[in-house]
Amino acid sequence: MFKDTKAFSGFSVNDVAAAKAFYSDILGLEVEENPEMQGILTLHIAGGGKIIIYPKPNHTPASFTILNFPVADVAEAVKQLKAKGVKFESYDWPGFKTDDDNIFRDGGPLIAWFTDPAGNILSVIQE
């Protein structure tokens, strides 16, 4: 039924202007404002994918990773994003701990988590 459908994802934010600045200026993504859908942003990602960001007055940040950005070098990506003011999450749970650079290095791909201005969780993950 949906085999040939170009699906897309979406998530909410509480401040569209802050989201637009973050995703375009900090992350360097192409962000489009759609005049027909007032207040809704479209993120254009590599490969032709699109993600919708929509305002929600009673927004609650996602408690899980909503968007993963594969990168060749997680440590370098973390360094560059920190230089732009991005704060990374630190975890210290039994069996799950990030290091002093906020990178999880204990099994699986290297990964580091951060949040957008609305508190949604994003990651950079090593390819």
Q: What is the dihedral of CA 26, 120, 35, 31, to 10 degrees?
A: 30
Cβ atoms of 115 and 89 closer than 8 Å: yes
Residue 58 sits at φ, ψ, to 5 deg, of -100, 35
Angle at alpha carbon of residue 55, lines to 26 and 118, rounded to 5° = 45
pLDDT digits (tens, 9 = 90+) for 40-93: 999 999 888 899 999 999 999 999 999 999 999 999 999 999 999 999 999 999
Q: Which two tokens stand for residue 120?
A: 């949604």
116 phi/psi in degrees, rounded to 5: -85, 175
- pLDDT the model gives residue 8: 87
> pTM of the prediction?
0.91
DSSP characters over 12-81: EES-HHHHHHIIIIIT--EEEE-TTSTT-EEEEEGGGEEEEEEE-TT----SSEEEEEEES-HHHHHHHH
What is the pLDDT at residue 54? 95
Reported as a single tens digit per residue, the pLDDT across 106-120 is: 888 999 999 999 999
